[in-house]
């Protein structure tokens, strides 16, 4: 009985040590999972900030491009108006000359 008690005591002691090792491993795994989740959340947050920054930059680029196009169109329209005005002045001058020649001998 003495030997079997020692064997049982030794087995119980080993079981307890194994239980402690299992619990320590479980706690380590839980800490690693929590660290990985925190890292994933950080990466996601960083990616969202980058998307916001890229979106804002693209919107600024588009606004600048739209302004440039408007300015070019306005400059072209002014140029066309000046050209048309010059042509009409020239035609008016020719018409006046033609009328004066016809009226005055």
Between 1-10, 44-53, 84-93, the lowest mean confidence (pLDDT) is in: 1-10
C-alpha–C-alpha distance, residues 69 and 28, integer Å? 61
Threshold 0.75, pTM exceeds: no
pLDDT digits (tens, 9 = 90+) for 63-86: 999 999 999 999 999 999 999 999
pLDDT digits (tens, 9 = 90+) for 14-61: 999 999 999 999 999 999 999 999 999 999 999 999 999 999 999 999
C-alpha–C-alpha distance, residues 64 and 61, integer Å? 5
**Is the pLDDT at 105 greater than 80, yes or no?**
no
Q: What residue spans define the domains of the chain?
A: 1-73
What is the pLDDT at residue 1?
Answer: 62
CB atoms within 10 A of CB 66: 10
C-alpha–C-alpha distance, residues 71 and 76, integer Å? 9
């Amino acid at each position: 009985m003495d030997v079997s008690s020692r064997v049982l005591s030794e087995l119980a002691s080993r079981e307890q040590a194994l239980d402690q090792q299992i619990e320590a491993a479980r706690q380590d795994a839980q800490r690693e999972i929590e660290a990985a989740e925190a890292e994933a959340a950080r990466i996601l947050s960083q990616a969202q900030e980058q998307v916001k920054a890229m979106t804002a930059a693209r919107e600024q680029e588009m606004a600048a491009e739209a302004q440039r196009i408007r300015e070019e169109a306005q400059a072209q329209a002014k140029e066309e108006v000046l050209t048309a005005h010059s042509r009409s002045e020239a035609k008016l001058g020719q018409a006046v000359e033609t009328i004066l020649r016809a009226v005055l001998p």
